[in-house]
Chains A and B, each alone.
Chain A
Amino acid sequence: MHRMREIKSPKTYKDKAKAASAKAAALGEDVDVSAYVSSAEEQPYQDDPSKLPTKTKEDMLKVGIILDNTNQRSGTYIQMDNTPVHSSSGQEGIEVMAISQALEKHDWLADYWWRAVAVDTDKYTANVELSQHSGYFIRALPGYRTIYPVQSCLYLTKARLAQNVHNIIIAEEDSELHIITGCAAASSEEAGLHLGVSEFYLKRGAKVTFTMIHSWNPEVAVRPRTGIIVEEDAVFLSNYVIMKPVHSLQTNPVARCIGDNAVVRFSSILVAPPESNMDLGSRVFLNAKGAKTEIITRAITTGGNIIARGYIEGDAPNVKGHLECRGLILKEGGVIHAIPELKGNLAGVDLSHEAAVGKIAEEEIEYLMARGLTRTEATATIVRGFLRVDIEGLPPMLNTELQRAVEASEKDIM
Chain B
Amino acid sequence: MDDILLSISQLSVAVEDKEILHGVDMVIRKGETHALFGPNGSGKSTLLMAIMGFPRYQVIKGNIAFKGKDITNLPLDERARLGIGMSFQRPPVVRGVKTLDIVAACLKGQGNQESIDKLAEEANMADFLGREINYGFSGGEIKRSELMQLLAQKPELSLLDEPESGVDLINIALIGELINELLEKNHLIRDRKHAGLIITHTGHILDYVNARTGYVMIEGRIIGEGDPHEILATIKEKGYKKCIECAK
A360 to chain B, nearest CB (A): 9
Quick check: A368 and B94 within 8 Å, CB to CB?
Answer: yes
Q: Which residues of A contact B132 (CB under 8 A)?
A: 385
Interface residues of A in 367-407 (CB under 8 A from B): 367-375, 377-378, 381-382, 384-388
Quick check: A373 and B105 within 8 Å, CB to CB?
Answer: yes
B47 to chain A, nearest CB (A): 15
**Contact A373:B77 (CB < 8 A) given known A368-B105, A381-B105, A382-B97:** yes
The reply to whether the CB of B118 lies closer than 8 angstroms to some CB of chain A is no
Interface of A, helix, strand, loop or mixed by DSSP: helix
The reply to whether the CB of A366 lies closer than 8 angstroms to some CB of chain B is yes
B119 to chain A, nearest CB (A): 14
The reply to whether the CB of A361 lies closer than 8 angstroms to some CB of chain B is yes
In the bound complex, CA of A232 to CA of B182 (Å):
57
Name the CB-closest residue of A to B104.
A381
Interface of B, helix, strand, loop or mixed by DSSP: mixed
Quick check: B106 and A371 within 8 Å, CB to CB?
Answer: yes
**Contact A361:B81 (CB < 8 A) given known A372-B108, A385-B101:** no
The reply to whether the CB of B91 lies closer than 8 angstroms to some CB of chain A is yes
Quick check: A385 and B80 within 8 Å, CB to CB?
Answer: no
The reply to whether the CB of B96 lies closer than 8 angstroms to some CB of chain A is yes
Interface residues of B in 59-115 (CB under 8 A from A): 75-77, 80-81, 85-86, 88, 91-92, 94-98, 101-102, 105-106, 108
Quick check: A370 and B98 within 8 Å, CB to CB?
Answer: no
Q: Which residues of A contact B101 (CB under 8 A)?
A: 381, 384-385
In the bound complex, CA of A368 to CA of B80 (Å):
10
Quick check: A372 and B94 within 8 Å, CB to CB?
Answer: no
Cβ-neighbour of A367 out of B55, B88, B108, B153 (below 8 A):
B88
**Contact A366:B54 (CB < 8 A) given known A373-B105, A385-B96:** yes
The reply to whether the CB of B149 lies closer than 8 angstroms to some CB of chain A is yes
The reply to whether the CB of A364 lies closer than 8 angstroms to some CB of chain B is yes
Quick check: A385 and B98 within 8 Å, CB to CB?
Answer: yes
B147 to chain A, nearest CB (A): 13
Q: Which residues of A contact B52 (CB under 8 A)?
A: 370
Quick check: B97 and A381 within 8 Å, CB to CB?
Answer: yes
Name the CB-closest residue of A to B90.
A363
**Contact A369:B96 (CB < 8 A) given known A381-B101, A381-B105, A385-B101:** no
Quick check: A385 and B94 within 8 Å, CB to CB?
Answer: yes
Q: Which residues of B contact A366 (CB under 8 A)?
A: 54-55, 76
Q: Which residues of B contact A386 (CB under 8 A)?
A: 95-96
In the bound complex, CA of A224 to CA of B105 (Å):
41
In the bound complex, CA of A372 to CA of B153 (Å):
8
Name the CB-closest residue of B to A390.
B130
Name the CB-closest residue of B to A385.
B96
Name the CB-closest residue of B to A365.
B94
In the bound complex, CA of A374 to CA of B97 (Å):
16
Q: Which residues of A contact B94 (CB under 8 A)?
A: 364, 367-368, 382, 385
Name the CB-closest residue of B to A369.
B77
Q: Contact string, A194-232, partner B, CB cutoff 8 A, digits 1/0? A: 000000000000000000000000000000000000000
B190 to chain A, nearest CB (A): 28
Name the CB-closest residue of B to A356.
B95
Name the CB-closest residue of B to A375.
B77
B91 to chain A, nearest CB (A): 6
A327 to chain B, nearest CB (A): 12
Q: A residues touching B (Cβ–Cβ < 8 Å)?
A: 326, 361, 363-364, 366-375, 377-378, 381-382, 384-388
Q: Given A370-B54, A371-B105, A385-B94, list of 14 further CB < 8 A pairs?
A: A361-B92, A363-B92, A364-B92, A366-B76, A367-B92, A370-B85, A371-B80, A372-B81, A373-B77, A381-B105, A384-B97, A385-B95, A385-B132, A387-B96
Cross-chain pairs A/B with CB under 8 angstroms, 26 sampled: A361-B92, A363-B92, A367-B88, A367-B94, A368-B94, A369-B75, A369-B80, A370-B80, A370-B86, A371-B85, A371-B105, A371-B153, A372-B106, A372-B108, A372-B153, A373-B77, A375-B77, A377-B105, A381-B105, A382-B94, A382-B96, A385-B97, A385-B98, A386-B96, A387-B96, A388-B96
